[in-house]
Amino acid sequence: MDIRSLTLFQHLANTLHFGKTAAACYVSPSTLSRAIQRLEEHLGSQLLIRDNRSVILTVEGKKLLSYADHQIEQYESLKLSLNESQQQLSGSLNIYCSVTASYAYLPPLLEKFRQAHPNVDIYLDTGDAADGIDQIKSQRVDLAIAAKPDDLSSSIHFKHIASVALGIATPRINCAVKKALQADSIDWANVPIILPEHGVARKRFEQWFRKKGGGRPNVYAQVSGQEALVSMVALGFGIGLSPIVVADNSPVKEHIEIMPDTAIAPFDLGLCCFKKKLQDPIIAAFLSMVPQSSTISPG
């Protein structure tokens, strides 16, 4: 069994989704299927139960996953010991972050890293910041810039890079939402709300809304990504909780305003990776780019 086949199986065993693993590992679904079939033929055991809707590990599959975890860890340790003698790091690094983080927090880290390690190739995926830790857990990326959740898994290493202030974004344009907010007594239960699909920002908003006594929020839409949320607020569809850095850097920032005195606690933003990956020389080198003060000011 070669290390590549074991790596594909390990990833599939964690995602339980052929399409996601094929995309993350840059292989076609048919190539992934053949790799799994070869493992099953080599071991003489069925590793997965699959149909059109689901993938389930068999008992034999769980045993192979344990073996694969150990072998891959040993292989990574071997690479580490061989790389320690090299003067310059080489290889690749996959990073995930939001669009805003890609220009507000990532540039100073990348600039320092590229100067120190020019032979490392950087690959960047962008998306909803709330999905950052899931990207790590599914092994789609090596590092992610993400908000620290209240229930951070013990397997995840989190290195603080910034404290992100939050505020309630409201539309500036004349619309029903703005008129509702100008009332002497705001009827919060009927104010349209734009919510993130999940994540720390959504929990912060729900906590704030409960304190306002609004009961159940009138959810107009649930969106993926804070950038989309700010755009919908600017168009007058509702109000929503936004990181101030997202609002300040939005192309529609002139069409929104932040409610004063909302007293919403900021969240911790950091670089995340699996703790077992901390000995990887490339990951360790990138984490070392974070300033000693552990705070990066948005660009």
* Nearest alpha-carbon partner for 181 in 240, 130, 135, 125: 240
- 252-277 per-residue burial string, b: 16 or more CB within 10 A, e: under 16: bbebbbbeeeeebeebbbbbbbbeeb
What is the per-residue pLDDT for 225?
86
The whole-number pLDDT of residue 85 equals 53
Q: Quote the CA–CA distance of 54 and 18 in Å, as a whole number.
A: 9
The first and second tokens of residue 135, run together, are: 């990207």
Q: Which residues contact 44 (CB under 8 A, 6 or more apart)?
A: none
The answer to whether residues 46 and 59 touch, using CB atoms and an 8 Å cutoff, is no
Q: What residues of the chain score a pLDDT lower than 50?
A: none
pLDDT for 254-272, tens place per residue?
A: 999 999 877 788 889 999 9
CA distances from 33 to 22, 38, 39, 181, 258 (A): 9, 9, 10, 56, 51
Nearest to 195 by CA among 128, 263, 125, 251: 128
Give φ, ψ of 40 to 5 degrees: -65, -40
The answer to whether the predicted template modeling score (pTM) of the entire model surpasses 0.95 is no
Which candidate, 28, 279, 275, places its Cα nearest to that of 137? 275
Q: Classify the C-alpha dihedral 206-208-210-214 as positive or negative.
A: negative
Backbone angles phi, psi at 192, to 5 degrees: -65, 140
Task: Specify the pLDDT at position 297.
Answer: 60
Contacts of 81 (CB under 8 A, 6+ apart): none
- Give the DSSP letter string of 259-277: PS------EEEEEEEEGGG
pLDDT of residue 1: 74
Residue with tokens 């990956």: 277
> Domains of the chain, with CATH numbers?
3-83 (1.10.10.10), 91-162+268-287 (3.40.190.10), 166-265 (3.40.190.10)
Three-class secondary structure of residue 74 per DSSP: helix
85: which 2 tokens?
């003698």
Give the model's pLDDT for residue 132: 92
* pLDDT of 221: 94
